[in-house]
Chain A
């Protein structure tokens, strides 16, 4: 028992994360039973899912840094194996990219752990408390933070997330990059930022910078995507920014907001990936150009998607609003201690929210509303078009949680999961009572319904759409798919240059470093071109140098 207590640790933070690791594992397993039914290698698939659960729990509860690192490394490998279940052309390359990025940062973490050991001589997380005064401590912190960033998908180590979202099966994306990796990455960031290291204001500013940059840059990329799952993948990056920003504020309400956002994000992003998977299952594609008008055929998926989309955009009274509000309040708290940069953080966080909403409106048009694409194949019978219960039930549960965690934020999730984690007391009087606001919103909508009743809306008549006299049936090319909505944004001022550079993958740390590596290779490969006379010339040269050194 003492051995167990020596290596593992059960405190409020790890228990909270552990509970939700279990929760998402169960939901993903249920969803997979529907999604992976007709796939090959299902026993291996469920084996990997189970191993991921065990490794995640190990990483969450481990107290010894070496033990933690072992579990953490396993997770990288399992991610590689799970992405491999995708069927796209690029799947192997994507799996390799994810593995290399995560493996590379794992090496950095090992370096960080060894530096921690050099500084303190300890491996026990709960005993370590290092002030960021020496250069060595700063480097150690940054190395460990790099690992957390890569796992959670914050910039600059984010590039594997959108690729993995596009090329791996939807339940895998919902499981690892959307929920477990976020929980674990932010969990570890919270551990090192709140316990193992004592951050100064400079490092807090650095964290807030990373957070704001991640929010805005990733969501700008999301605006212009053409693939359902890839677009969601960029949001999985963007939302990490709020969590890093919250933890970076360094005051209790900001940290609580960051952790709450981590939980909320896992909930609605899994829900979104589940609905993307359902759409993919029924329409056989996730390309936004060839979807559209699915709301009529997949009503349950549509409603869960809509709720999750509102939640991620921070529309009250859903859960995303509450956590974002707490992060904003945290940022404003930092303003009171001086400093001018808080304006930048606050504006990028709030404006990022508007951009998020914009990209989800695009999805709404391209996938669920709008006109259906030409030649789209759906099941013949109308009642067969919604996915089976195994696939819509997890989404419904998550959408329900979005609502509950928003309306009863103070009473349920914050009270039981988040506040016990923050040791300092949080001043929280006068918090907006979401329950009251929801009741008022419902009454306001009832007023609208009364007006509908007055106007006898029930007597509907169906008509052809009016296109200024044109006939829509004979002009099928008159369809707005929605993918070109934000082309205007791409053409404005400096954004044009940035988007062009992004298209060349200048901001992709994986591509850049692989280019550097292969650049070295190319230089060295001149030595090995297979021409015998060149080798002979090198031999003679070497011999000459040797003779000179020996005989001079």
Chain B
């Protein structure tokens, strides 16, 4: 289904897009299995309409919202972002979505809200990968409030001009392009405003391997592999790897968030 009425964005990269077949056929979405091809094969099991989003925690307007009602309030825009996976590959994807900051403002978080916690749907019938206990389900991710309010933070509902394919995290997913891909949680059913730092899935699974911040950083290697360079998905066999940039190249927009922080300690 095509999406009508979206504007373009000043934040878009002017780079060659990763082919549609790879964006939608090469996915890490363990709710549907651990192989990259599993999500495209099995995500049809997910029912995305109707979809409700629960807002709770330190917020003035908690409740269960219908996603369609939320979308009516938002201006959709296309943003071409680089997605950098912690596995040292990257894609360039034309997402469609709306500003997370806008949604947060509408929900009016209280002064106690220091973090935003996101939760993916938990339903092993629709998400058969959840039958295996490789991660603690449901999948949880989180951002510091100022990170969530950053203009780059996007709630995406589509890509390549159409509604989000299920394997890419339909109907609503987060995109935080300066962080490794696993932070950009998919198929969100709940947003909670908290005082404490959320317990995020990968961090809980392996603390020394995946930090809470997970900012893209070529100088902080993963304990088992280097993060200096990345393979560009869709490039030819003999194309050299690309040099990974600090904050995935989005430093001018986000570096201020981490001023004075030791990025090796808070990786």
- Same complex for A and B? Answer no
Chain B positions near chain A (C-beta within 8 angstroms) = none
Chain A positions near chain B (C-beta within 8 angstroms) = none
